[in-house]
Structure 1
Amino acid sequence: MEQDGFLSHFYELRTRFIRIIAGMLVPLLAILPFANELHGFFVTPLLNQLPAGGQMIATSVTSPFLIPLKIAFYVAVAVSLPHTLYQVWKFFQPGLYPKEKLISVLGVVSSVILFVIGACFAFYLVIPVVIKFIVGTAPEGVAVMTEIGSYLDFLVSIMLAFGISFQTPIIVVAIAALGIVELKTLREIRGYVVVGAFVVGAIFTPPDIISQFMLAIPLWLLYELGVFIAMLVVARRAAVPALPDA
């Protein structure tokens, strides 16, 4: 019986994995014809800040072909993310209680929304400011011509850093709701959080004070938002009368 249960879980996992892969391949095939257009869209923040005559360069023979494909792949993964998370949720869903199902759905939806907001914040606000700062500090006589592969790595790392950092409210609410850390403690460590936010900003952003501030300040504000929501959750839980013992 235990072996049958293991095999059923294995087959279910295999089915979900196949559906996840298929969910990525379908948008990838639809996006591939527009790979060059997507490349043009994502390099716009850099090209807009380059001086007159500035351009991007390819130091590898295959870069002009592979970089647009990589961008198309990243976009396909992002587009299929809701479907991927749904398949993961469906795998674990049979073992969840009704209340846990609702909480997990709200958590996943909130996480996706915050990740998208963080990535868009990085792309539309942070990256143009950082590039403008870097280009503006280039010594006289230095031609700024960025390699397209290096720029893509820089772009993805910044957007991922902000997307993950914007998960802060969910993490704060989760640890407070689960009782891992008391709400009083979360309020008392605000000073350490501010310092930690600037440390994170220094680690995950380029070595300029502007981008560090643009990550640290949202991190701190998102922490405060998480504490506020956690206060509401804890207060609501306290207001619900406990069920009498049987």
Structure 2
Amino acid sequence: MAGCNFSARNLPSGPSVLSLVFEAWPHQGATGVVVVDIGAHRTEFEISAPVSRTVDIGFDHDGADPLTTMVFFRPGLIDFVFRSMSLGRTIMSGAISPWPVVKSGSNGHPIKTLQHLLRARGQNVAVDGEFGPSTEAAVKTFQASHGLAADGIVGPLTWAALVVQVKKGSQGDAVRGVQEEFQFRNLSGDPSNGPQIDGIFGPVTDAAVRGFQQALAADIPSVAVDGIVGPVTWQALVSGMLSF
């Protein structure tokens, strides 16, 4: 098995996360496996098509110093290119962060995600990251149609009604919202890394969701690592958890 290894010192014990960016190419018709060992913690990813992937792996660091991380690939992969790695503590309180409250005048994260979700709910709004008059009107229309106070303010009740459960095989604007969240967390500076905002919930998006859930579960054991973006995972994404 070919691969590489890294050592990190002075990492405090407790819930931690490793963010790994890589590209991999399998032999035609074959499935390869990328293996990541973080101390005694092992994670494996199957690769059946050429990918550029960003993966967050959550684990509970026991305080060993130095902490050694090894990345290998098993037969089936013709090539593997390591791009970057970051390792650090997760900053979580043992609970999912609350839904954000956004309204007219808000911009930045998570406004694009909100706009993707509004589109998934049939509202004709541009995805521009600005909570302007058209987004406010779309929010009010959605709220009125779901028995909510039509005040244009997106708080916990509106978010909970707005999110759409998606998983591998899903397509559409709600999937674009999920992918938008992972591009928001893409620290490589290269938008071609990680899930692309194409509305197709394929293997790359599935791996990103599972990695995110695994990182959450290191501190919040009730989080299911199932690749399904339901209310809990949506709330963690939209509230900005694990965004460095």
TM-score by length of 2: 0.28
Bigger radius of gyration? 1
TM-score by length of 1: 0.28
More helix by share: 1
